[in-house]
Amino acid sequence: MGDVPFPEPPAFPPSNAEPSASLHWLQNQVMQHHRRFEKSIPLIASENLVSPRAAEMFCSDLHNRYAEGLPGSRYYEGNADYDPIETHVEDLAKRLFKSPFADVRPVSGTSANISALFAISKPGDVFMAPELAAGAHISTQRFGAAGLRGLQTMTYPSIPETMSIDTQLAVEMIGREKPNVCYVGQSVFLFPVELDSIIEAAREVNATIMYDAAHVLGLIGGGCFQDPIGDGVDLLCASTHKTFAGPQHGIILANEDRELNNGKRLHRAIRSSVFPGVHSNHHLHNVAALGVSLAEAQEFQVDYAKQMISNAKALGESLWNRGMKVFAADQGFTESHTLLVDVSGFGGGAEVSLRAESCGLVMNKNMLPGDTSAINPSGIRIGSPEMTRLGMKEDEMDEVAELIHLSAVGESDSEVRQRARILKEQFNRIHYCWPTESSAYDAPKFSPFN
């Protein structure tokens, strides 16, 4: 029999409707979104569920306030109670990531990256990063933050089979081209970077080393991936809502203070580029929520990070056994939360991910090495953070792989949708955090409107 399709959105309220028609339309869409996620298997590598106790901070009055500057030296009054919060959250971040410095004001991974680039470089500098088709983020490219800063972008040679930097060739390139900034980190981040060699080569030419941990911050916090700050990178930028299941926000960590090749001191340069450079206000409710997530991570992150990686590996194996071309089979598919699959034989990434969505499997299309179109690429990217957060383990990965495969080959949508829903119904609580009564996709309680 199977399940009926997810409903189409209702028509927009007409322009001559009562203003409250928009309120009702918006509330309906949010409820519909919640109902879809309740029934779907979430497989986006960059998404996660913030804990209920961290989410409680979103509705605090902090959401309504400004706090430009640093604790104790603000441009606004009203921060007497907030200032110690920010100081404590920075301390929690320094403790978890064993970092001498933390700035918790960036509002996203991208705003952290832009702030970092303004701190550590100047227009015309040579900036080296992985290539887009090897999993780099747009902020590292000419048309992203790096270009906005006026940097000359160069890309490291990569190993297409593993979506990794070819370290040996990269080291030679760093020696030859003498970049001002060596950036590492990816949006398809399957394996740790061989940091020792890159850091040594970068030091030889006095380049600043920036690590983008947007995807792998939670794996680093759980001690399961690599330890960039301990290994000696200058600074680390990240989102706080991917494998680190915090609020949608950003963070910059940095190593011991030192003078950079642009003549600035590292810590001071970060402080002033975050504010007044790139941000004005920095979303104080999210800083408080980040504090809760950091505290929870002290207790749960090791187990959570291990399980994310184990689940991703198990899912890779199960997909491979069904004939799907998962990258890096010889290397165990992944050492992170992410898998990359070549689905050109199933109609390509765009077709496969759209079909999957209609079956209740939420993933994204992704470029593979050699692809030129990000709109119509050959691959899909699959991640384990959210389903792991819901308590799924290796045993469930085989059923998830079966559903992904059935949807890719075009089996009955309604049956796949039904099996996805039945599996999902058993996993509706958020794990690896202090428990509450709430379910993972509880919809907001809207006030009655007459």
Q: Minimum distance from CB of 227 to ligand PLP (Å)?
A: 18
Kindly tell me which of 212 and 342 has the beta carbon lying closer to ligand PLP: 212
Q: Which is nearer to ligand PLP, 250 or 369 (CB)?
A: 250
248 or 418: whose CB is closer to ligand PLP? 248
Q: Within its chain, how far is the Cα of 410 from the centroid? A: 30
Residue with smaller CB distance to ligand PLP, 280 or 450: 280
Measured from the CB atom, is 51 or 187 closer to ligand PLP? 187
Q: State the minimum distance, in angstroms, from the CB of residue 106 to ligand PLP.
A: 9
Q: Which residues neighbour 77 within 8 Å (Cβ) at sequence distance 6 or greater?
A: none
Q: Report the nearest approach of ligand PLP to the CB of residue 340 (Å).
A: 13
Task: Locate 437 and state its tokens.
Answer: 């009564």
Of 246, 327, 330, the C-alpha closest to 292 is 246
Asked if residue 407 lies in contact with residue 416, where contact means CB atoms within 8 angstroms, the answer is: yes
Task: Return the DSSP state at 237.
Answer: E
Spell out the residues 6+ positions from residue 15 whose beta carbon is closer than 8 angstroms to its own. none
Please identify, using beta-carbon distances, which residue of 114 and 403 lies nearer to ligand PLP: 114
CB of 104 to ligand PLP, least distance (A): 14
Find out whether the peptide bond into 276 is cis, omega within 30 degrees of 0.
Answer: yes
Residue (247 or 360) nearer to ligand PLP, CB: 247
Shortest Å distance, C-beta 31 to ligand PLP: 25
Find where tokens 């640093």 sit: 70
Between 241 and 424, name the residue whose CB sits nearer to ligand PLP.
Answer: 241
- The least distance separating ligand PLP from the CB of residue 121, rounded to whole angstroms, comes to 17
Let me know: does 4 contact 324? Beta carbons within 8 Å. no
Per-residue burial over 59-68, b = 16 or more CB atoms within 10 Å of its CB, e = otherwise: eeebeebbbb
CB burial class (10 A; 0-12, 13-18, 19+) of residue 149?
buried
Residues 6 or more apart whose Cβ sits within 8 Å of residue 447: none
CB of 44: closest distance to ligand PLP in angstroms? Answer: 10
Which residue in the shown chain puts its C-beta closest to ligand PLP? 109
Minimum distance of ligand PLP from residue 187's CB (angstroms): 3
Residue of 145, 178, 413 whose CA lies nearest to 278: 145
Q: How far apart are CA 60 and CA 54, in angstroms?
A: 11
CB nearer to ligand PLP: give 42 or 360: 42
For residue 283, give the nearest of 242, 244, 248 by alpha carbon.
Answer: 248
Question: CB of residue 3 vs ligand PLP: minimum separation in angstroms?
Answer: 31
Angle at which helix 284-321 crosses helix 394-409, to 10 degrees, equals 70
The least CB distance from residue 368 to ligand PLP, in Å, is: 16
Q: Name the site residues for ligand PLP (rule: CB under 6 A).
A: 46, 108-110, 113, 137, 139, 185-187, 212, 214-215, 239, 250
Q: Which residues of 217-240 are buried (b: 16+ CB within 10 A; e: fewer)?
A: bbbbbbebbbebbebbbbbbbbbb
Q: What Rg value do the Cα atoms of the chain yield, rounded?
A: 22
Nearer to ligand PLP, 48 or 139 (CB): 139
Helix (H/G/I), strand (E/B), else coil: 429: coil
